[in-house]
């Protein structure tokens, strides 16, 4: 069983439009159930970061509090992960996740089909 961080666009290309950010989040979350059904545990950095950002008093996406927490949360999570699923789309943050994941020796997947079935 692997703990797999799903990395892809969240804020990228949205101009901080909440509707477009939610669409990106929906794309990330669409990968979670298939990963779980393959016998692994999916995680998305925003599942952890967003509540912390809110609790810390962030007023808008991209403010100082958001910036303080957004990427560091994912980077800390990566130290506990076994792999990353990098979904399609331009994303500086996801590219940083992959670069750190490679340094940590994590497996980097680029499609659900690459993730092994662990239900055996």
What pTM, to 2 d.p., does this model score? 0.94
What is the pLDDT averaged over residues 33-37? 98
Is residue 84 in a domain? yes
pLDDT beyond 80 at 14: yes
Structural domain including 79 reads 3-104
Mean pLDDT, residues 3-9 taken together: 98
* Distance of alpha carbon 59 from alpha carbon 9, whole angstroms: 21
Mean of pLDDT values over 86-91:
96
Structurally, how many domains does the chain consist of? 1
Looking at residue 120, what is its pLDDT? 74
Neighbours of 112 (CB within 10 A): 14
pLDDT at 49 over 80: yes
Residue 43 has pLDDT above 90, yes or no: yes
Q: Looking at the predicted structure, is the pLDDT value of residue 11 above 80?
A: yes
Quick one: which of 106, 43, 33 has its CA closest to 77? 43
Phi/psi-derived region of residue 15, left when phi > 0, alpha when psi is between -120 and 50, beta in every other case: left
* Residue 88 resides in a domain: yes
Q: What is d(CA 9, CA 25) in angstroms, rounded to the nearest whole number? A: 8
C-alpha span between 34 and 54 (Å, rounded): 28
**What CATH number is attached to the domain comprising 17?**
3.40.50
Can you tell me whether residue 32 is helix, strand or coil?
A: helix
Write the pLDDT tens digit of every residue in 104-120. 999 999 999 999 999 87
Structural domain includes residue 16: yes
Q: Is 118 within the bounds of a domain?
A: no
């Amino acid at each position: 069983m692997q703990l797999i961080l799903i990395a892809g666009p969240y804020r990228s290309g949205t101009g901080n439009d909440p509707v477009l950010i939610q669409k990106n989040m929906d794309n990330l979350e669409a990968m979670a159930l298939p990963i779980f059904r393959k016998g692994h545990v999916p995680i998305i950095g925003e599942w952890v970061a967003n509540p912390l950002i809110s609790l810390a008093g962030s007023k808008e996406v991209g403010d100082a509090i958001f910036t303080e927490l957004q990427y560091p949360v994912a980077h800390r999570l990566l130290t506990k992960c076994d792999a990353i699923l990098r979904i399609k789309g331009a994303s500086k943050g996801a590219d940083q996740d992959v670069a750190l994941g490679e340094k940590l020796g994590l497996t980097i997947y680029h499609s659900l089909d690459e993730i092994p079935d662990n239900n055996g």
